[in-house]
Amino acid sequence: MALVNEHFLKLPNNYLFADVAKKVNAFKVSYPNAKVISLGIGDVTQPLCPAVAEAMHKAVDEMTTPDGFHGYGPEQGYLFLREAIIKNDFLPRGIHLEASEIFINDGAKSDTGNIQELVRWDNSIGVTDPIYPVYIDSNIMIGRSGEIKDGKWSNVTYLPCTAENNFVPELPDRRVDIIYLCYPNNPTGTVISKEELQKWGNYALKNDTLIFYDAAYEAYIQDPDIPHSIYEIKGARKVAIEFHSYSKTAGFTGVRCGYTVVPKELTASTLSGERIALNPLWYRRQCTKFNGTSYISQRAAEAIYTPEGKKQVKETISYYMDNARMMRETLTGLGLEVFGGENAPYIWLKTPDKENSWRFFERMLYNAHVVCTPGVGFGPSGEGYVRFTAFGSHEDCAEAMERLKKWI
Ligand SMILES: *Cc1c(COP(=O)(O)O)cnc(C)c1O
């Protein structure tokens, strides 16, 4: 008899975006002529930039010749891309990494979900709350999260990020083995200062805590004082693994490519206290379970680092950040409390009069025909908030804001 992994049965079966879609469809059945604008999607909308497209065409042409054909590539990714990453994403910030510390992935979701395989099932975890659901769900699947009570998992330490603490999470009052951090943050769109991030680095060094740092939105940072990488922080190489993605940076949600940094100095302990480097462990894991990102995707990613690529990617990010600015201005002008949207493509709105997330979502859908994402779907501290994304077109964003002005 094959026994099922019953931890899967504990997963919340209501997937947030499926619930949103269900409610939007129900609305459309009743009001077939209404034009619904979605500011809820977490996917980008602007097409790939010319530099990327050109690199992909070229890579395809190469693949059709005997000399240029590429089959299985190195599991860790091609050296040309890893070197471009080191040279462009890290060296200018004074961070020196070796190519063997970079692992090309097929997007940050896989690696942020898979990385927990490197540590024992009985480690305790901590997350800022609200948060990208992958971190907790991937731990539920292997039985690390405990049981759910009142919307919280018993073995997960939740660090609330709300308007009350200005979205600066407090260090946990008990020690945790692993902390997930995501900055700029999805869903709140807020960022962390170097000083605050150093506090986390110090906490991790002192408590022998491992930090999983998700930097998927670092390309959206506008303020020069905000760190783009946790390795800008002293001591971070000993305690942190960092995840990057080209999905939001350059519209790679359908192309699939990103990378993970596992520094050589980073170690975790065996039960008997022996220190084990995680870099060779992750390499071993990838060689067994991952056969590399496509050559074409890696050439596409490399093109982002050319002068044209950099310029074009920046233009698209500015396009989204213009949306964010417009949304912030309108919502603030309406007397609403909004956060984020200055160094991230997300706006986090506090609902008026503490209305619950789903109720506000439905009222906005039925009265303004605008869709957002209910904040509670990202964790208990998200209750009373909703998320707007800046990934739509200017036209849709402007139209949605006009409707909100009439409605509110
Ligand atoms: C979108 C996103 C990712 C990246 O996903 P990909 O798999 O690279 O497309 C990672 N982390 C967060 C927080 C995200 O929002």
DSSP class per residue in 2-66:
PPP-GGGGGS-SS-HHHHHHHHHHHHHHH-TT---EE----S--SPPPHHHHHHHHHHHHHHTST
CA angle 301, 214, 257 (to 5 degrees): 20
Nearest atom (ligand 1) to Cα of 186: 13
Nearest CA to ligand 1 atom 2: 216
Would you list the DSSP string of 357-372?
Answer: HHHHHHHHHHHH-EE-
pLDDT tens column, 332-378 = 999 999 999 999 999 999 999 999 999 999 999 999 999 999 999 99
Nearest atom (ligand 1) to Cα of 245: 8
d(CA 185, ligand 1 centre) in Å: 11
d(CA 6, ligand 1 centre) in Å: 27
Q: Please check the confidence at residue 256 and state whether its pLDDT lies above 80.
A: yes
3-class secondary-structure state, position 136 = helix
Nearest atom (ligand 1) to Cα of 253: 9
Report the distance separating Cα 223 and Cα 217, nearest Å. Answer: 13
Closest by CA to 404, choosing from 315, 333, 311, 312, is 333
Q: Please check the confidence at residue 14 and state whether its pLDDT lies above 80.
A: no
Which residues are near ligand 1 (CB < 6 Å)?
107-109, 112, 132, 182, 186, 214, 216, 245, 247-248, 253, 258
End-to-end CA, the chain = 59
Nearest atom (ligand 1) to Cα of 252: 9
pLDDT tens column, 193-227 = 999 999 999 999 999 999 999 999 999 999 999 99
Q: Give me the pLDDT at residue 42, please.
A: 82
Q: Give me the pLDDT at residue 151, please.
A: 86
Report the distance separating Cα 329 and Cα 370, nearest Å. Answer: 17
pLDDT tens column, 154-181 = 999 999 999 999 999 999 988 999 999 9
Nearest CA to ligand 1 atom 15: 186
pLDDT tens column, 316-326 = 999 999 999 99
Counting ligand 1 atoms within 8 A of each CB, the residue from 214, 243, 257 with the most, and so the one to mutate, is 214
Packed helices 307-333 and 50-63: angle between N→C axes, nearest 10 degrees: 140
State the average pLDDT for the chain: 96
Q: Please check the confidence at residue 16 and state whether its pLDDT lies above 90.
A: no
d(CA 24, ligand 1 centre) in Å: 24
Half-sphere exposure of 399 toward its Cβ, with a 13 Å CA cutoff? 13
d(CA 245, ligand 1 centre) in Å: 6
Nearest atom (ligand 1) to Cα of 107: 8
Nearest atom (ligand 1) to Cα of 214: 11
